[in-house]
């Protein structure tokens, strides 16, 4: 805390820091922080890079939303050309899909979350739709019950929750009849003109799996049943409308359960890999472009502008330099000291009056303190300032560590008696000794408590007050349930212990 700590600050600090540009790294950093603090409220939006990032995120998010709404609403038609083109590029590592255009086709996939196979007809003509399905067990297994069904709509759901593990063959048939047909007495003549029976056969396997980490606590050990299609050949290209509808499904799955959930859902449904990647990456881009500027404004900017101990010392030196010039005093920089503590900032300023000095010591202190607090408010330094300002007179150098005058023979004995600062410096050393004694008492208290660990202790003092801040942690197992003492209990015991170990504090200083 000696004068060596501030030599660089003093040497590099100009007498008028506002008129001369910064000449060292610390001064440049302070000038940059000061500029941001003074101009943040006046900047137009957008101005900084984070503002443009936010606008880019909002713009892309709006474009992304309009794209999905337009696709799902049929605004872009039912074309499959987009999927056909994308599946033949580096965006999709699989085989190129079969472009079906307006050809009717059947889409079937297992939904393992609800343990069912979902079936739907695509590009079907307008009419009465009859969907039939039949399930046969392979390799001598027992056929499930029921193993067939019929619905008068273009989609159906087959529940496999009660089926045994094994391989099954699913046969799907879709017929379309003229509107108004008596479905109980329908014939081939009632079939819609120009339409043929649509059929599809696929094999899927039901298996069970158990989490490999199920032996760990809090890990789900339930056996899960899953179904997957064995070999379905080249997939049919998806229409723009279907891609838009599944875009919302994938987006909801990722927001609700994460990217893995979305990929599993889309993969089981046969969604093109390039479309799943586009949905997922778009959500990531939007999230980052919206979250980064907000997080930077709230957290990182304040962190970047937070003053270090070196910055604080530099700010104080700049204030003292300006005050020295304005009030016509001469600060003894060899005796000046500053200590930046965790809970306070201690500043000791010895100065000599000059012929132009018209303020007493109290006025000098109030002016310096006012300017320091104004600067700290600008830089958002919220710590108590303990400022000691003393006039040390002329023709006398005071050893700031011992209070012993050097060169006192140069003045009369009467003047020497008037300028004796031994008591002042003895009091300063006593405050420092009190802090050390209290800190040692705190360490002793926690050494005597086997169930407590001292994490941090900070002690600062003024003339009649000692500030103590302690952080501790119980070292018992299951301390949340077993440790009974509250914070107030520990505070009372610690206060009593410190008072007992330091009886000289009782009645003289408040803890």
Q: How many helices (H) and strands (E) does the chain have?
A: 14, 16
Q: Is the pLDDT of residue 238 over 50?
A: yes
More confident residue, 296 or 17: 296
Q: Give the structural domain span for 378.
A: 3-42+307-418
pLDDT at 103: 76
Boundary-marking domain end, from 270, 305, 340: 305
Answer yes or no: is 296 within a domain: yes
The domain total for the chain is 4
Boundary-marking domain end, from 233, 254, 282: 233
Q: Report how far residue 402's alpha carbon sits from residue 391's, in angstroms, rounded to the nearest whole number.
A: 17
pLDDT at 318: 92
Contact in structure between 348 and 334 (CB atoms under 8 Å): no
Could you tell me the pLDDT band of residue 86, with boundaries at 50, 70 and 90?
confident
From 69-73, 200-204, 268-272, the region with the lowest mean pLDDT: 268-272
Q: Is the pLDDT of residue 214 over 70?
A: no
Same domain, 404 and 466: no
From 154-168, 214-228, 263-277, the region with the lowest mean pLDDT: 214-228
Same domain, 93 and 241: yes
Q: Is the pLDDT of residue 217 over 70?
A: no
Same domain, 160 and 109: yes
Same domain, 291 and 370: no
Answer yes or no: is 510 within a domain: no
Answer yes or no: is 511 within a domain: no
> Which tokens go with 135?
């399930």
Same domain, 447 and 401: no
Q: Is the pLDDT of residue 75 over 90?
A: no
Same domain, 251 and 292: yes
pTM here?
0.46
pLDDT digits (tens, 9 = 90+) for 448-466: 888 888 888 877 766 677 8
Same domain, 381 and 414: yes
Does the N-terminal peptide bond of residue 367 adopt cis geometry, omega within 30 degrees of 0? Answer: no
Answer yes or no: is 8 within a domain: yes
**DSSP letters along 393-417, please?**
-SS-EE-TTT--EESGGGS-HHHHH
pLDDT at 409: 37
Distance of CA 235 to the CA centre of its chain: 42
Determine the longest span between alpha carbons in the chain, in angstroms: 134
Q: CA nearest 16: which of 371, 428, 324, 423?
A: 324
Same domain, 291 and 272: yes
More confident residue, 4 or 510: 510
Boundary-marking domain end, from 233, 267, 288: 233
Contact in structure between 220 and 174 (CB atoms under 8 Å): no
CATH number for 215: 2.60.40
Contact in structure between 244 and 77 (CB atoms under 8 Å): no
pLDDT at 415: 47
For 354-367, what is the mean pLDDT? 84
Same domain, 349 and 300: no
pLDDT at 465: 76
Q: What is the DSSP letter of 78?
A: S
Same domain, 278 and 329: no
Same domain, 149 and 196: yes
pLDDT at 408: 35
Same domain, 329 and 446: no
The residue count for the chain: 511
């Amino acid at each position: 805390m000696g004068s060596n700590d501030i030599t660089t600050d003093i040497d590099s600090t100009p007498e008028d820091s506002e008129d001369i540009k910064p000449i060292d790294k610390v001064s440049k950093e302070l000038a940059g922080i000061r500029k941001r603090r003074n101009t943040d409220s006046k900047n137009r939006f957008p101005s900084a890079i984070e503002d443009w990032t936010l606008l880019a995120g909002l713009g892309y998010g709006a474009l992304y939303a309009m794209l999905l709404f337009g696709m799902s609403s049929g605004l872009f038609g039912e074309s499959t050309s987009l999927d056909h083109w994308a599946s033949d590029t580096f965006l999709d590592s699989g085989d190129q899909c079969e472009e079906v255009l307006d050809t009717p086709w059947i889409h079937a996939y297992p939904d393992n979350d609800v343990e069912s196979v979902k079936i739907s007809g695509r590009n079907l003509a307008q009419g009465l739709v009859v969907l039939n399905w039949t399930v046969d067990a392979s390799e001598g297994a027992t056929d499930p019950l029921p193993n067939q069904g019929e619905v008068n709509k273009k989609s159906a759901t087959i529940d496999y929750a009660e089926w045994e593990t094994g391989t099954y063959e699913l046969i799907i048939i879709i017929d379309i009849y003229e509107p108004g047909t008596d479905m109980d007495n329908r014939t081939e003549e009632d079939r819609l003109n120009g339409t043929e029976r649509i059929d599809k056969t696929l094999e899927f396997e039901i298996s069970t799996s158990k989490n490999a980490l199920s032996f760990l606590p809090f890990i789900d050990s339930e056996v899960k049943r899953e179904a997957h299609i064995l070999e379905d050949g080249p997939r049919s290209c998806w229409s723009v409308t279907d891609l838009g509808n599944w875009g919302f499904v994938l987006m909801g799955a990722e927001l609700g359960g994460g990217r893995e959930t979305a990929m599993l859902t889309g993969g089981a449904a046969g969604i093109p890999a390039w479309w799943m990647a586009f949905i997922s990456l778009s959500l990531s881009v939007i999230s980052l472009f919206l979250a980064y500027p907000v997080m930077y404004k709230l957290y990182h900017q304040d962190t970047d502008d937070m003053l270090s101990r070196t910055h604080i010392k530099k700010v104080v030196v700049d204030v003292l330099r300006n005050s020295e010039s304005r009030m016509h005093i001469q600060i003894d920089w060899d005796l000046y000291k500053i200590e930046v503590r965790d809970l306070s900032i201690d500043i000791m300023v010895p100065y000599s009056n000059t012929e132009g000095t018209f303020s007493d010591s109290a006025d000098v202190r109030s002016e310096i303190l006012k300017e320091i607090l104004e600067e700290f408010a600008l830089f958002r330094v919220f710590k108590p300032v303990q400022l000691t300002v003393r006039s040390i007179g002329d023709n006398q150098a005071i050893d700031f560590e011992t209070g012993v005058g050097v060169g006192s023979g140069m003045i009369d004995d009467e003047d020497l008696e008037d300028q004796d600062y031994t008591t002042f410096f003895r009091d300063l050393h006593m405050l420092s000794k009190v802090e050390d004694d209290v800190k040692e008492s705190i360490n002793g208290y926690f050494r005597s408590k086997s169930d407590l660990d001292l994490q941090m202790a900070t002690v600062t003092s003024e003339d009649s007050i000692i500030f103590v801040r302690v952080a501790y942690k119980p070292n018992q197992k299951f301390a949340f349930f077993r440790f009974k003492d509250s914070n107030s209990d520990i505070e009372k015991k610690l206060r009593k212990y410190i008072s007992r170990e330091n009886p000289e504090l009782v009645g003289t200083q408040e803890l």
